[in-house]
Structure 1
């Protein structure tokens, strides 16, 4: 029995030694998958960003020191709620001076009114000339105009004094406070940044070659995934202009009210694909070919020399046993279907 074992073993070694290098590589060949692209009539995955429909950087309209800052980042504020108060003592004094000038102008107007009434009576009794009446009428009109001008100036002073109290323009969430109490606020300097949480959308950049096809399918509902939550959204639009640098067109997807997203969050959108060469090509690979180590997702790409090298990929939607690859692979490349066998190869 032992002699037979050594005889078989020796025969196997002799056979292996008789194989050519090409035959040996063929005997040890990996099972591979050739990457191809397709544009099915369905939904393609795209990375996007959540943004607010209404996001405002509230700035000061006048110069003044910040004396009160009752809000902080994360606070929810109501329309008209105080966001910051500036030192308004000088403005209030000017408003008081303007109000005093209004009183003086009104007194002068009252005197001119009484005088013109007397002059009219005297002229009716033919005690004064037409020239004297005209002069009285002119003085009355001058006093009236001066009073109106003083009232307008006083109103402007009161309005300007209101600029020292910076208030929220609408119900919003404060995202950033750019000053501290004691800082000097200047016209145009950002004080508080806020956004309306009831109106959010997802912005997605798509190739401009796909824009025309997407516009023809605006009636199709699209999917959005944010923080693990999948939503179906019926309303979306394709902007008419393309970015001259990236040659992409922005797609805006309206989010329903009451979501948990915040501006700047990552979102994944599924937009309609368009056939006929104008749509977005999708690449799918078998799920068993994918290697995942912590946050790394990769495949073993097999070169023309038969060597398998680990390559990082970015994945998208999963359809059955197929995984969409968004980046990292090109059509025509080969990948190993058995990552463990590929890892053992020299």
Structure 2
């Protein structure tokens, strides 16, 4: 018990200074009655329970998964361009149009190409005339030589002239074939069935040889094109891949890795990867759709996934606080971690399924503290 000192009470000090004995005695008695001794608080009272949120331990497969967002592309995209230069006069197809093999998708001005064909035809006609004259001279000198009226050297010259004329005829014929091919090249044709995904030139534009005019995505397998970081290059080859489309909700397609770039992109430092989407042609996803490729690595035993905030480490290794169901107190439990992500810790051992682990504020708690589990935790 703690008592007050009478000399320190203001009422008693006032009574001591009052000269009238009766009044001073009355005030002194009142002060003593009001002061008395104070009853102290009990030091052995139990501390209040700490409210905590918990998570129930459940072991699942330890397969690590990672999602990569990309787009749906055709396996083969043909960038078509003219094999000769010229002025583009017609492009009968546009983006989104379906084309078939052999269909004309663009045309050049044929005026100059037609003139080249006419010139080659004239050269061939002239070469044939020269060949006919040389052949006649060779036959005549052969007859004279057989009768002894022409020297051998003169006959040899006529025979050489005939051989040269024959070569010029062959050269003119090849030039005519080339000119006709170039005339055919003035019509750009689709090399396979597919759909036009982009155009690179408009009518009236002068295009160079090889310049892309139309890009066609061929019919056939569809693929998901994604960018992989360096850490997932080896894992991508052994992981199980699935593809989901943003437009189709939870539906997933099986997929396989078909192509992995050998060199990183210089800007993003990632590697382009193509995953073939295994589906029927009728159910093939549309080109350009947003695709999410999920890579799942093979599991190596069960793990319990807990919030990363539930794990503490004070220099003695990772540990968690487990709520004792009998006493509602905390038990510090060392655990072994298989790994962790940005917000999840994967516990490999140290906990039993069904136990409840504190998930928030573990660094402000201590072992043996009484706790109260909040609703929903």
**TM-score calculated relative to the size of structure 2:** 0.60
SS of the residue 1:79 aligns to: coil
Partner of 1:266: 290
Q: CA deviation at 1:39?
A: 8.1
What SS is found at the alignment partner of 2:262?
strand
**Comparing 49-58 and 182-191, the one that deviates more:** 182-191
Matches within 5 A, 1:100-249: 100-216=122-238, 222-226=241-245, 227-228=247-248, 229-233=251-255, 235-237=256-258, 239=260, 241-243=262-264, 246=268, 248-249=270-271
Alpha-carbon contact 1:215-1:238 (below 8 Å) kept: no
1:62-81: CA deviation from partner (whole Å, max 9, x where unpaired) = 33222222111111111111
Larger radius of gyration between Structure 1 and Structure 2: 2
Unmatched runs of 5 consecutive residues or more in structure 2: 1-46, 311-340, 347-358, 362-374
Alignment check: 8 A CA contact 2:84 2:208 kept: yes
Question: How far did 1:335 drift?
Answer: 7.3
In structure 1, runs of 5+ residues without a counterpart are 1-22, 277-281, 287-300, 303-326
Matches within 5 A, 1:1-346: 29=51, 31=53, 40-41=62-63, 44-216=66-238, 222-226=241-245, 227-228=247-248, 229-233=251-255, 235-237=256-258, 239=260, 241-243=262-264, 246=268, 248-255=270-277, 256-258=279-281, 259-274=283-298, 329=343
Q: Say whether the 8 Å CA contact 1:210–1:274 is kept in structure 2.
A: no
In the alignment, the residues of structure 1 paired with residue 230 and residue 304 of structure 2 have an alpha-carbon distance, to the nearest angstrom, of: 20
CA contact 2:108–2:186 (8 Å) conserved in 1: yes
Deviates more, 1:129-138 or 1:147-156: 147-156
The 3-state SS of whatever aligns with 2:158 is helix
| CA deviation string 1:34-91 (max 9, x = no partner) | 9xxx982375443232222211222233332222221111111111110111111111
Per the alignment, residue 9 of structure 1 pairs with none
Distance (Å, rounded) in 1 between the aligned partners of 2:259 and 2:176:
50
Deviation larger for 186-195 or 208-217? 208-217
User: SS of the counterpart of 1:71?
Assistant: coil
CA drift at 1:115: 1.8
Q: How many equivalent residue pairs?
A: 272
Measure the CA separation in 2 of the matches of 1:63 and 1:249: 36
SS at match of 1:261: coil
Cα root mean square deviation, aligned = 4.1
- Deviation of the 1:247 alpha carbon: 5.2
Shift of 1:199: 2.7
Distance across 1 between alignment mates of 2:106 and 2:162? 45
**8 A Cα contact 1:39 1:274, kept in partner:** no
Tell me, yes or no, if the aligned pair for 2:124 and 2:169 is still in contact at 8 Å.
yes
How many Å apart are 1:181 and its aligned residue?
2.4
- 1:294 counterpart residue number: none
| CA spacing shift, 1:272–1:250, aligned 2, 3 Å | farther
Structure 1 CA distance, aligned partners of 2:150 and 2:221?
73
Q: 1:179 to 1:252 in 2, by over 3 A?
A: closer
Deviations along 1:84-120, one digit per CA (max 9) or x if unpaired, are: 1111111101211211210111121122112212211
* 1:335/1:50 CA distance change after superposition, 3 Å: farther
Q: 1:176 to 1:206 in 2, by over 3 A?
A: closer
Deviations 1:155-191 (A, max 9, x none): 1111122221111121120012233322222334331
